[in-house]
Amino acid sequence: MRGAGPRGATRPVLRDAAHQSPKAGQASEDAGLAPRAWCRLCGVFVIELIYKASLEKIDAHMAAHMRFLNKYYAAGNFLVSGRKVPREGGIILAVGADRQQIETLVREDPFHRHGLADFRIIEFRASQKAKDIQARIESS
């Protein structure tokens, strides 16, 4: 997985987890907290899937991809996901301890394992959210 660097150059997107440390007085993921409890300490990520295979091949692996998604919804890592319009890939909004954890999850996706899609991971620090976010998601 590679990301764009200055002036469109590609650069490795792996980053050492040592650069991610909790604030003083806060527990870390290793403290055994449930995913939702440590989310305040982790990053938020947009995972973009860009299909590079025919939709016929994508559809042949869709059930396995859905099992992958459901596994990480249950684990608390995935927040929302869906197909891009037009259907050229998908988007997953995720939380994780660090970028390395998200890259590890992505490597489990059948679309990645079978070379059907490229993946772009964008990390951002969520600083605001809508108070009625659940209602907005359900009404869309």
Question: Could you report the per-residue pLDDT of 36-61, keeping only the tens digit for each?
Answer: 444 555 789 999 999 999 999 999 99
Q: What is the pLDDT of residue 139?
A: 85
Q: What is the pLDDT of residue 5?
A: 42
In the chain the domains, ranked by start, together with CATH numbers, are 33-139 (3.30.70.1060)
pLDDT tens digits for range 1-14: 444 444 333 333 33
Q: What is the pLDDT of residue 41?
A: 56
pLDDT tens digits for range 57-86: 999 999 999 999 999 999 999 999 999 999
Burial tier of 18 (Cβ tally within 10 Å: 0-12, 13-18, 19+): exposed
Q: What is the pLDDT of residue 35?
A: 45
**Distances from the Cα of 60 to the Cα of 78, 83, 92, angstroms:** 23, 16, 20
For the record, the structure tokens of 33 come out as 């907290």
pLDDT at residue 108 tops 90 = yes
What is the C-alpha separation between 73 and 61, in angstroms, rounded? 19
Cα-only R_g, the chain: 16
- What is the arithmetic mean of pLDDT over 105-118? 98
Q: What is the pLDDT of residue 128?
A: 85
pTM: 0.70
